[in-house]
Amino acid sequence: MSAIDALPPLREVIATHGLSARKSLGQNFLLDLNLTAKIARQAGDLTGADVLEVGPGPGGLTRGLLAEGARRVLAIEKDERCLPALTEIAQAYPGRLQVLSGDALEIDPLAHLTPPIHVVANLPYNVGTELLTRWLDPPDWPPFWQSLTLMFQREVAERIVARPGSKAYGRLSVLAQWRTDARIVMELPPEAFTPPPKIRSAVVHLTRLEEPRYPADPAVLFRIVAAAFNQRRKMLRAALKGQAPDIEDRLVAAGIKPTQRAEEISVEQFCALARQMSG
């Protein structure tokens, strides 16, 4: 296995800095630098781009991103024990790695980034879903990022890319597919991580669309999508009853049969319904 940089192997880094994995922080580390470089490549050409990395841990993916030519990496890490290891990487790549210590859910990284910006992360799954939802629903579109390359548990990755008619199709699918092209680009077995998690993982790559795929008011769209999937087994005329007194007429006007269920409705149809609700 060829080395991607002149820094010590990650097992040595972890031993030197006493980075025993903490469950409370969702720490499952990637220690194979060839694998982290491969994940970095899924983000596309990073030369000339800034990368926001959330949860760098001991820095395996960070090193992959830098070795693959990212102009700058801004990394946000909650576990202060990781900071000395990340400082060593910053010294090996002068001027190209900035580390912010803290909770990514509370830090606004924008002041530290220059477009074009790509987001790459191997995060604990609960934090990952929360951040994905925020990144997909910013106050203005297009957002600050060009693409998101994120590790999820496989089941969540499947929900993001699911098509209508499948069990996995839901709120997250509509949210992602309305404003991005989303695909699963890599699958990883538990053994790829230290310690190995119980589940399989997958990397999802989402590229932003400059305009949403179909016109709709985001607040209205997300409200009806949430209501529809909250009662996904019910017919839409029942699931959306509270949304408008004449919901059946509005469903028909949007080209949807009131007896259909949420999982049968395409993103285009949800957008048509959102326009009917706004009108």
Query: Applying CB under 6 A, which residues contact ligand SAM?
Result: 25-30, 54-57, 60-61, 76-79, 82, 103-105, 122-124, 127
User: Buried b vs exposed e over 103-134: b needs ≥16 C-beta within 10 Å?
Assistant: ebeeeebeeebeebbbbbbbbbbebbbebbee
Of 63 and 250, which has the nearer Cβ to ligand SAM? 63
* Beta carbon of residue 106, minimum distance to ligand SAM (angstroms, whole number): 8
The alpha carbons of the chain give a radius of gyration, in whole angstroms, of 21
Rounded to a whole number of angstroms, the minimum distance from the CB of residue 22 to ligand SAM is 7
Whole-number minimum distance, CB 54 to ligand SAM, in Å? Answer: 5
Minimal distance in Å, beta carbon 40 to ligand SAM? 11
CB of residue 130 to ligand SAM, shortest distance in Å: 9
- CB closer to ligand SAM out of 54 and 206: 54
Phi and psi for 29 in degrees, rounded to 5?
A: -90, 150
- Using Cβ positions, the residue closest to ligand SAM within the complex turns out to be 55
The smaller minimum CB distance to ligand SAM, of residues 56 and 170, is found at: 56
Query: Cα 271 to chain center, whole Å?
Result: 22
Comparison of 103 and 246: residue with beta carbon closer to ligand SAM: 103
Shorter beta-carbon distance to ligand SAM: residue 64 or 170: 64
Query: Closest separation between CB of residue 143 and ligand SAM, Å?
Result: 19
Q: Which two tokens stand for residue 16?
A: 């030197």
* C-alpha atoms less than 13 angstroms from C-alpha of 111 in its C-beta half-sphere: 3
Token pair belonging to 25: 């922080």
Kindly provide the b/e burial profile for residues 242-253, where b requires at least 16 CB atoms within 10 angstroms of the residue's own CB. Answer: ebeeebbebbee
What pairs with residue 203 in β-bridges?
151, 186
Cβ-based nearer residue to ligand SAM, 104 or 156: 104
Cα–Cα distances in angstroms (integers) from residue 87 to residues 25, 41, 96, in the given order: 20, 23, 11
Type of residue found at 252: V
Distance between CA atoms of 148 and 46, rounded to whole angstroms? 12
Q: Nearer Cβ to ligand SAM, position 81 or 237?
A: 81
Whether residue 164 contacts residue 266, with contact meaning beta carbons closer than 8 Å, is answered with: yes
